[in-house]
């Protein structure tokens, strides 16, 4: 699985967020924050 913001390869560990019924995993809180503030920019890239 890849972080939808920075593209880093991830396992099951990381910052998680449920958005529109889909779980996203991020490498760090700042990537999660970026996604939360503009999810439309990243939703279709993962």
Section 42-46 average pLDDT:
68
pLDDT tier for residue 45 given thresholds of 50, 70 and 90: low
Domain ranges in the chain are 1-46
Instruction: Spell out the long-range contacts of 35-40 with Cβ–Cβ below 8 A and sequence spacing 24 or more.
Output: 35/4, 35/5
Q: Is the pLDDT of residue 38 over 90?
A: yes
pLDDT tier for residue 3 given thresholds of 50, 70 and 90: very high
Indicate the CATH number for domain 1-46.
Answer: 2.30.170
Q: Is the pLDDT of residue 33 over 80?
A: yes
Q: Is the pLDDT of residue 46 over 70?
A: no
Q: Tell me the pTM.
A: 0.82
Q: How far apart (Å, rounded) are the C-alpha atoms in residues 13 and 41?
A: 23
């Amino acid at each position: 699985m890849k972080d939808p913001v920075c593209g880093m390869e991830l396992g099951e560990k990381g910052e998680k967020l449920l958005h529109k019924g889909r779980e996203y995993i991020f490498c760090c809180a700042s990537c999660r924050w970026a996604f939360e503030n503009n999810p439309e920019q990243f939703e279709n890239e993962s």
